[in-house]
Chain A
Amino acid sequence: NAGVMQNPRHLVRRRGQEARLRCSPMKGHSHVYWYRQLPEEGLKFMVYLQKENIIDESGMPKERFSAEFPKEGPSILRIQQVVRGDSAAYFCASSRQTSGGAGEQFFGPGTRLTVL
């Protein structure tokens, strides 16, 4: 049973370019969370999605960032016009249907974005 898949593992972009990060949840999981880890910091929640719905995007910057989880295919985190401050590791986690907080989120290996 494959775990959470993220690609690419490493992504280099120049300032002003677009970054597109993909996350395939574990089989049977319909909930996806995105977190960002800045250097020497813990993970910060960005957005929570279910299939075709954004449930909570309170941690995502209002501009340049967007996320989707289509009916078919992986979840996508998109960063437009990247800046150096976007350099970070972006982690995706998936879980089964919510169980009041007692469920486990399974994390992918992350995408390390470097903005030159």
Chain B
Amino acid sequence: AQSVTQLGSHVSVSEGALVLLRCNYSSSVPPYLFWYVQYPNQGLQLLLKYTTGATLVKGINGFEAEFKKSETSFHLTKPSAHMSDAAEYFCAVSDHDFGNEKLTFGTGTRLTIIP
């Protein structure tokens, strides 16, 4: 079975500072990994995904994540936080059997930006 652990349910950073949101996964097969963002009272929006190939993945809004197999990690970073980044962030792993791509999510990290 697959699982995702997000360390830190709440993270606060100052505007302009580095954002680092941690995600560790467990998977019996090579994982497909995703980061989603959720703004209040809205659905989830895909930030970026890793499937195969380059381990450093760039996404929207200046975010990027690096897949590290040896550490079973897929941490999300952004060099300089903006007020608009305040939201909840979810890491997820795909059960990527052909015919079923259901996602297993972490419990989320709420990011607060301090002016």
Contact = CB atoms under 8 A, between A and B. Distances in A.
A104 interface: yes
A36 B28 CA distance: 24
Contacts of A4: 43
Interface residues on A, range: 20 to 34
Interface residues on B, range: 20 to 34
A42 B106 contact: yes
Contacts of B100: 48, 55-56, 98
Interface string A94-109: 0100101111111111
A112 B6 CA distance: 24
A104 B94 CA distance: 10
Contacts of B101: 31, 33, 95, 98, 100-101, 103, 105
Interface stretch (B44-52, B66-74, B79-87): B44-52
Interface of B: 6, 32, 36, 41-46, 49, 51, 90, 94-108
* Interface pairs A-B: 8 shortest CB-CB: A101-B96, A107-B43, A42-B105, A101-B94, A107-B44, A102-B51, A101-B32, A42-B107
Interface of A: 4, 31, 33, 35, 41-45, 48, 55-56, 59, 91, 93, 95, 98, 100-110, 112
